[in-house]
């Protein structure tokens, strides 16, 4: 082999190796979820069986926890998107005196680790009598994703041309109507991206509901799945794998949808020309 | 995009149809109204807890006993205790080891290598490898923990592979717990660095590389003399961001090793949790969280300094 071809081939070999390494930990979950007799060892199932999925999904506790997970994450995403869109409007359109320090503070908040404040958040929830409240947890999750959501939404809004809004004002629309009827529809891809992003974060969040919610019947999927692991996981590996897979599917689908939105991009150029 | 935004802002300000003062007044009022929902949420649930951290860290608050009823101000007692607490020192060391090996070295270097090798490869091939790496990122932390619990188990996937080349099974989670959580976190987080470096590498001017090739620079020289210096800014920013993300990792370690065996994987978040919710020492737990928060605040300030954003 010449040096040239070697230089061409090596990256492919290294990348293929890394790809396999990254795939390996997932294989166990994939194989075991379809195998009712799964153990902790990696084993290709003899027949593909849906038994694990059926029994996980038939369980009332699991059903409820998945629904609560959807309720928490969806509610959180909606609150975040509405609050972030409203906040982004003056930040994107007006020149305000304290805009710069405000935006810098928002940016600063995006990178603070939420884990660090969970102990005082628990105390705050006791003080506000919000402990064990799904609504309180939802509001906290919304607040923790707000800084990032505001930042993203503002950038998306900056890309919406002002001319479109102005023509709506000339036709007699108020600012709020203009935002609702002109800006928001154009920002739907951006708002969906923010919603998907924050939904995924809340859906996968274990620590926050684990700390803030105590009643077993209020726990979302992220916590139930952990308890399942402690109670049956060591015995019923197949079910644990199936539950994990069911729980992982929403983030995967949402991620793929958001990629769609991102690649389509924002083509506002044509709207102002006509 | 940025330039357009600037134009928008200026454009709006120039088109003043009302008397100037009245317009300004309405504008400010409207801004406050629009910012109100977001700001009130942030004040109660974000700024509030941060301020409370500073307050509670100086109290003897507890979940049980007399201190649960009446909170007392104890000054620097929690911090004096913290600095003499050998377990705290262990946690600091564990946190640094975890941060350095899983974030700074592991995710960054691996993400960079992936991005570099994927450049100029076949598109389908790129997509397949990219998707496998991203799968680790999209997987929720708790599931990452299960996947690695099985992967690193004595009868798990890794040992099956190692046995085929003649290496005896190792109980990774007990023998090398820190290595185990580091590997799991690298698997989970690398995609982020890979994406950052992919876009950074795409922005390296082609002309620079070409000029270097003409001058006869080797691949290695081009990497060290051109690529890395050009994307240095992104490397540093990514490093701060990944460090901040890793500092907050709780679920992965908690579900995989529970901080053990012993204290071998007890990073600051785990120690904070144990003190506050297992030993019921909320005051002391908050003091630990304040320590974490201060590290976070310093790193975050560094991060926005490095970004040099125009707002």
Q: How many structural domains does chain A have?
A: 1
- 3 state DSSP class of B73: strand
> In the prediction, which pLDDT does A262 show?
66
Q: How far apart are CA B193 and CA B188, in angstroms?
A: 11
Token digits of residue A29: 């979950």
Residue A5 lies in a domain: no
Average pLDDT, chain B: 82
Burial of B165: CB neighbours in 10 Å, binned 0-12, 13-18, 19+: exposed
Question: Which of A181-195, A216-230, B11-25, B291-305 has the weakest average pLDDT?
Answer: B11-25
Strand pairing partners for B69? none
Residue A185 lies in a domain: yes
How far does B229 lie from chain A, in Å, by closest CA? 22
Residue A203 lies in a domain: yes
CB contact residues (below 8 A), chain A span 43-72, against chain B = none
Selecting from B28, B38, B307 the residue whose C-beta is nearest the C-beta of A150 gives B38
ipTM of the complex: 0.85
Test mutation, A97, A116, A254, chain B, max B CBs within 10 A: A116
Q: How far apart are CA A225 and CA B142, in angstroms?
A: 8
Q: What is the CATH number of the domain that holds A178?
A: 1.10.3720.10
- Whether B289 and chain A come into contact, CB under 8 Å, resolves to yes
Residue A72 lies in a domain: yes
Contacts of B15 in chain A (CB under 8 A): 166
Counting one residue from A and one from B, how many pairs have CB atoms under 8 Å apart?
278
Selecting from A14, A22, A24 the residue whose C-beta is nearest the C-beta of B157 gives A24
> In the prediction, which pLDDT does A105 show?
86
Q: Which domain holds residue A91?
A: 51-273
pLDDT, tens digit (0-9, with 9 covering 90-100), for B161-210: 888 888 888 888 888 999 999 999 999 999 999 988 988 888 888 888 88
Q: How far apart are CA A45 and CA A38, in angstroms?
A: 8
Residue of chain A whose Cα is closest to the Cα of B59: A120
Residue B66 scores a pLDDT above 60: no
> In the prediction, which pLDDT does A207 show?
93
pLDDT, tens digit (0-9, with 9 covering 90-100), for B83-125: 888 889 999 999 999 999 998 899 999 999 999 888 878 888 8
Residue of chain B whose Cα is closest to the Cα of A8: B121
Q: Which class is B77-307 in CATH?
A: mainly alpha
- Whether A23 and chain B come into contact, CB under 8 Å, resolves to yes
Selecting from A19, A120, A248 the residue whose C-beta is nearest the C-beta of B289 gives A120
Q: Judge if pTM exceeds 0.90.
A: no
- Whether A19 and chain B come into contact, CB under 8 Å, resolves to yes
Across the interface, do B45 and A121 touch by the CB < 8 Å criterion?
Answer: yes
pLDDT, tens digit (0-9, with 9 covering 90-100), for A95-122: 877 888 888 888 888 888 888 889 889 8
Q: What is the mean pLDDT of residues B248-255?
A: 92
Across the interface, do A146 and B272 touch by the CB < 8 Å criterion?
Answer: no
| DSSP H helices in chain A | 3-33, 51-58, 60-93, 99-111, 118-127, 134-158, 162-170, 175-178, 184-186, 188-204, 207-212, 221-228, 237-264, 269-273
Residue A204 lies in a domain: yes
- Whether A155 and chain B come into contact, CB under 8 Å, resolves to yes
């Amino acid at each position: 082999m010449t040096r040239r071809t070697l230089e061409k081939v090596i990256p492919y070999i290294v990348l293929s190796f890394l790809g396999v390494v990254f795939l390996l930990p997932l294989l166990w979950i994939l194989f075991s979820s379809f195998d009712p007799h799964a153990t902790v060892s990696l084993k290709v199932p003899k027949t593909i069986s849906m038994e694990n999925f059926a029994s996980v999904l038939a369980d009332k506790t699991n059903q409820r926890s998945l629904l609560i997970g959807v309720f928490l994450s969806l509610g959180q995403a909606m609150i975040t998107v509405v609050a972030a869109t409203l906040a982004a409007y003056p930040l994107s359109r007006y020149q305000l005196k304290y805009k710069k320090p405000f935006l810098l503070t928002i940016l600063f908040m995006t990178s603070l680790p939420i884990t660090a404040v969970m102990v005082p958040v628990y105390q705050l929830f006791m003080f506000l009598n919000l402990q064990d409240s799904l609504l309180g947890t939802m509001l906290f999750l919304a607040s923790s994703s707000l800084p990032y959501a505001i930042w993203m939404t503002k950038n998306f809004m900056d890309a919406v041309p002002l001319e479109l809004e102005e023509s709506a004002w000339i036709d007699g629309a108020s600012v709020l109507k203009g935002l609702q009827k002109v800006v928001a529809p154009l920002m739907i891809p951006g708002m969906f991206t923010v919603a998907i992003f924050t939904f995924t974060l809340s859906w996968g969040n274990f620590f926050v509901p684990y700390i803030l919610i105590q009643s077993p019947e209020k726990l979302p999927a992220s916590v139930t799945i952990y308890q399942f692991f402690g109670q049956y996981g060591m015995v019923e590996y197949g079910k644990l794998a199936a539950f994990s897979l069911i729980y992982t599917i929403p983030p995967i689908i949402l991620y793929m949808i958001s990629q769609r939105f991102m690649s389509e991009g924002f083509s506002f150029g044509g709207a102002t020309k006509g | 995009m940025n330039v357009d935004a600037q134009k928008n802002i200026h454009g709006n300000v120039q088109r003043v149809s009302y008397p100037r003062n009245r317009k300004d007044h309405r504008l400010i009022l409207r801004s406050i109204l629009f910012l109100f929902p977001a700001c009130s949420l942030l004040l109660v649930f974000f700024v509030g807890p941060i301020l409370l951290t500073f307050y509670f860290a100086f109290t003897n608050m507890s979940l049980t006993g007399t201190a649960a009823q009446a909170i007392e101000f104890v000054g620097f007692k929690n911090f004096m205790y913290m600095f003499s607490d050998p377990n705290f020192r262990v946690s600091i060391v564990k946190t640094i080891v975890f941060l350095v090996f899983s974030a700074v070295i592991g995710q960054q270097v691996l993400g960079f290598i992936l991005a570099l090798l994927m450049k100029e490869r076949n598109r389908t091939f790129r997509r397949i490898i990219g998707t496998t790496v991203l799968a680790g990122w999209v997987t929720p932390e708790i599931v990452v923990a299960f996947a690695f619990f099985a992967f690193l188990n004595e009868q798990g996937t890794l040992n099956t592979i190692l046995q085929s080349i003649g290496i005896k099974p190792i109980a990774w989670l007990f023998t090398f717990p820190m290595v185990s959580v580091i590997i799991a976190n690298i698997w989970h987080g690398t995609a982020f660095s890979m994406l950052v470096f992919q876009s950074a590498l795409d922005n390296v001017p082609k002309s620079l590389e070409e000029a270097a090739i003409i001058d006869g620079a080797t691949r290695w020289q081009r990497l060290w003399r051109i690529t890395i210096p050009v994307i240095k800014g992104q490397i540093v920013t990514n490093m701060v961001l990944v460090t901040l993300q890793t500092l907050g990792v709780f679920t992965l370690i908690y579900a995989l090793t529970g901080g053990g065996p012993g204290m071998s994987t007890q990073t600051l978040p785990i120690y904070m949790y144990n003190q506050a919710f297992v030993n019921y020492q909320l005051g002391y737990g908050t003091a630990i969280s304040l320590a974490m928060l201060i590290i976070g605040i310093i790193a975050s300030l560094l991060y926005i300094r490095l970004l040099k954003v125009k707002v």
